[in-house]
Amino acid sequence: MDRHVHDRRRFLALTGALAAAPLLSACGTGFGGDDRDEGGGSAADDVTGAFDWKREKGATVKALLNKHPYTDALIADLKSFTEKTGIEVTYDVFPEDNYFDKLTVDLAGGRASYDVFMLGAYMVWQYGPPGWLEDLGPWMRNSSATAAEWDREDFFPNLLRADQWSLKAGAPLGRGGQYALPWGWETNVVAYNTEVFRRLGLKPAESFEELRELAGVIKRKAPGAGFDGMYGIAVRGSRSWATIHPGFMTMYARNGLRDFTVEGGKLTPAMNSPEAVAFTEDWADMVRRGGPPSWTSYTWYQCSGDLGARKAGMLFDADTAAYFQAVKGASPASGKIAFHPGPKGPDGSLATNMWIWSLGMNARSKRKSAAWLFLQWATGKEHLRRAALDGDHIDPVRRSIGRDGAYRDKMRHLPGFIETFETVVDQTKIQFTPQAQFFDATTSWAAALQEVYGGKSAKSVLDGLADDLSSKVG
């Protein structure tokens, strides 16, 4: 037997070495390569001289976008950006179900596949601390990099503040780096079917107690009044962080409740306080009495769709979720949907939680100057006005568009839309405590809500949730 050919030990040694090589090299590769220069200044400092839209002519910016009407309006207008700057924009669009997974994996991998991307303000709490987001503050302050007409004072102040954070858990928003720019947003209010309200002689609820009662009444009486299969109120219920932030968090905040208390920089879960337990029981009871069947699978798609399909008498969610059903020809209920700020808290509070579709820049982008030109164009007055008038880019993040006559004319046919927006806009802000474990906390909170809905004791479920979160978040 030829030893060179069939020596098993030699072969195993060779195989072992080959298999171990990548493992050993892996040891040297680090963890996602967070090797950025933390002591260095911003790339914005490199931009000097007079501002020029054509400064990066010939460059290409790559964008990661979520499938959304705002995105459609942006894509439709990209040509004007290229004409203005000479910069080409390439983009990938992903549906919301896997958009954030794609973005998270891309950023965590330490790549610069995308220069700019859509994100929510809550994502700043997750993507900011590891250093994945460019601080846009220095870009905004540099008059060589930013056009005078961009006008940061024109943004609703709550929105700019929502994307600004010091990266410290529990620290209030509005201080520290500007990690994204508000681009489109949603305030959470009640939209209702005017036809069923008229036929049953109902009025929008002014208190949470009235809302619960109203939801039950609609579910009981609407089917007999010609609204086959209609239930009272559509609210989200899936086991996802997204269940907590719209209607639930809005009503929770209006009741003066907090998710965490912050003392000396330490966060203590507060969703198991006696008042929060009582509120959670009431919310679950409202869903049982007047909510949708199969509530635990309800996302905003189902909630919005049910309002449009005349299956839901009311919707407590983003105003845009109702808007897309209310516009002419969009759904069987279009023309019969009105807006209302929703129930007030016991002290008359209309504190409202919000979602902001923001635009951020990859801290690893190699084309930051071009990316910044894109961001200021996309959040600028010119594009946003066109997107609001020609597309469905509402609610406006800029005050000038909210006041714009043409925009108001466009929205006027939706009963109560403008009035509701103006009533809640100053009280709409992020009602959560900023912290990096936001998605874990709110996903677990949604799971807890499902358990309470299923009949478990709210106190024991929320105590368990608070116990779990105190070790993760505190």
Partner 1 sequence: MRARPALRPYLLILPALLLTCGILYPFGLGLYYTLFDFSAAKPRPDLVRLHNYETVLTQDAFWHSAWVTVLYAVGAAGVETVLGVAVALLLHRSSLAGRVLEKILILPLMIAPVIAAIMWKLMLQPSVGVINHLLEPFGLGGVQWTDTPAGALLSSIAVDVWVYTPFVAILALAGLRSLPLSPFEAAQVDGAGPWYTFRRLTLPMLWPYVMVAVIFRFMDSLKVFDIIYALTEGGPGDSTVVLQIRAYLEAIRFQRYSFGISYTIVLWAVVYLAAMVLVRHLGRIQRKAAEVSA
- The binding site for partner 1 (CB under 8 A) comprises 2, 4-6, 11, 14-15, 18-19, 22-23, 26-27, 31-32, 34, 101, 104-105, 108, 126-127, 129-131, 229, 238-240, 292-297, 311, 436-437, 439-440, 443, 446-448, 450-451, 453-454, 456
Question: Cβ(420)–Cβ(340) under 8 Å?
Answer: yes
Pick 21 or 406: Cβ nearer partner 1: 21
Pick 356 or 446: Cβ nearer partner 1: 446
Both tokens assigned to 395:
């609610």
Pick 220 or 239: Cβ nearer partner 1: 239
φ/ψ of residue 118, rounded to 5: -85, 145
**Cα–Cα distances in angstroms (integers) from residue 329 to residues 170, 308, 333, in the given order:** 45, 10, 9
Pick 334 or 443: Cβ nearer partner 1: 443
- Rounded least distance, CB 462 to partner 1, Å: 12
**Cα atoms in the Cβ-side hemisphere of radius 13 Å centred on 119:** 30
Question: Which of 186, 176, 150, 127 is closest to 361 using CA atoms?
Answer: 127
- Rounded least distance, CB 446 to partner 1, Å: 8
Pick 306 or 395: Cβ nearer partner 1: 306
**Cα atoms in the Cβ-side hemisphere of radius 13 Å centred on 340:** 20
Neighbours of 45 (CB within 10 A): 13
**Cα–Cα distances in angstroms (integers) from residue 324 to residues 49, 231, 329, 404, 407, in the given order:** 44, 20, 10, 21, 16
Radius of gyration of the chain (CA): 25
**Angstrom distance (rounded) from CA 23 to CA 74:** 44
Pick 239 or 399: Cβ nearer partner 1: 239
Question: Cβ(387)–Cβ(70) under 8 Å?
Answer: yes
- Rounded least distance, CB 44 to partner 1, Å: 23
Please report, as a single letter, which amino acid is at residue 329. G
Give the β-pairing of 164-165 and 177-178: antiparallel
Pick 44 or 466: Cβ nearer partner 1: 466
Degrees to nearest 5, angle at CA 198 with 196 and 204? 85
**DSSP characters over 69-103:** HHHHHHHHHHHHHHHHH--EEEEEEE-HHHHHHHH
- Rounded least distance, CB 285 to partner 1, Å: 15
Pick 25 or 48: Cβ nearer partner 1: 25
Pick 364 or 429: Cβ nearer partner 1: 364
- Rounded least distance, CB 361 to partner 1, Å: 18
Q: Which DSSP category does 201 fall into? A: T
- Rounded least distance, CB 366 to partner 1, Å: 20
- Rounded least distance, CB 226 to partner 1, Å: 17
Both tokens assigned to 259:
């998710």
- Rounded least distance, CB 231 to partner 1, Å: 8
**Cα atoms in the Cβ-side hemisphere of radius 13 Å centred on 460:** 4
**Cα atoms in the Cβ-side hemisphere of radius 13 Å centred on 21:** 6
Pick 346 or 454: Cβ nearer partner 1: 454
Both tokens assigned to 321:
């979720």
- Rounded least distance, CB 288 to partner 1, Å: 10
Both tokens assigned to 339:
């807006």
- Rounded least distance, CB 452 to partner 1, Å: 9
- Rounded least distance, CB 216 to partner 1, Å: 17
Pick 58 or 229: Cβ nearer partner 1: 229
**Angstrom distance (rounded) from CA 77 to CA 266:** 46
